[in-house]
Amino acid sequence: MITPPKRPVVVIVNINKTWPEVEQGKRTAADVTLGDWNPYKSSSKTILAFNPDEVGLVLGYRKGTIITAFDIEEDGVRWLEHFDPHRVRWEGSPSAEWSHLVGKKSPVTWKQGEGVALKTLTLDELAHMTADPAPAPSGGTDASPEVTVSLGAVTVSLKDTQTVVVTAPDGMDVLVRRS
C-alpha cells in the first residue's frame, strides 16, 4: 500500500501548448510542469479552486498521457504577485513514487476548448484510479473496461461494475441518485 505524503492534493496540469518548448530545448520539463499556474476558480481573483499549499504532487498531461511527475518540496509554493490574478509556481523534484505513471494514460482528460489548465485529485483518488486491477476469481481480469468522461470541470470515471468516481471542483454540489 502506498503511504501518501502529508499534502493530499494532486494537480494535473495541461502542458500541451508549452511542451514543444521543452522539445526545442528552450525550457525544462520542470519549468513547464511546475509553474506558473492560476489557482483561482474561473475568472475569480479571490476564490481559490484549491489550496496550493496542500499540493504534494504535480503531474504533467499531454495528449492524453502523463509525461511528467514531480513531488513538491516542503514549503515549495511560490506566489507570483506580478501576475493578475496572482499565480503559483511549485518547487519540486522528479517523483520516484509516482514515476510509473509517466508514459501512461492520464487518469483525467481534457477536451478541446475546455477552459481549465489544471485539474485536481486527492492522492487517494489517484492511487485508486491508477491501481492495477485485481485478478478476477477465474484468473483473468474484469471484462469491464474503465471509462472516463469529462463534463466541463467534472470528471466521471466508471472503474468497474461496482465503482464510480466523480471528481468535481470545490464548492460544486454533487447529487447521487441510486435506483
pLDDT band at residue 133, thresholds of 50, 70 and 90? low
3-state DSSP assignment of residue 115: coil
- Eight-state DSSP code of residue 32: H
Taking CA atoms, 82 is separated from 9, 30, 36, 37, 78, in Å, by 25, 21, 11, 13, 12
**Has residue 60 been placed in a domain?**
yes
Number of structural domains (the chain) is 1
Q: Which pLDDT belongs to residue 4?
A: 42
Taking CA atoms, 103 is separated from 23, 47, 99, in Å, by 16, 33, 9
Taking CA atoms, 50 is separated from 23, 30, 124, in Å, by 30, 21, 16
Residue whose C-alpha cell reads 522539445 in the numeric block: 23
**Has residue 65 been placed in a domain?**
yes
Q: Cell digits for 166?
A: 466523480
**Has residue 139 been placed in a domain?**
no
Average pLDDT over residues 92-113: 92
- Eight-state DSSP code of residue 75: E
pLDDT band at residue 179, thresholds of 50, 70 and 90? low
**Has residue 121 been placed in a domain?**
yes
**Has residue 62 been placed in a domain?**
yes
**Has residue 23 been placed in a domain?**
yes
Q: Which pLDDT belongs to residue 125?
A: 92
Residue 143 CB contacts under 8 Å (≥ 6 apart), including other chains: none
Average pLDDT over residues 155-164: 74
Dist CA 12 CA 17 (whole Å)? 14
Share of the chain above pLDDT 70, in %: 83
Average pLDDT over residues 32-37: 94
Dist CA 52 CA 49 (whole Å)? 9
Dist CA 39 CA 167 (whole Å)? 17
pLDDT band at residue 65, thresholds of 50, 70 and 90? very high
Task: Evaluate if residue 2 carries a pLDDT over 60.
Answer: no
Residue-range definition of the domain harbouring residue 109: 9-131
pTM, 2 dp? 0.71
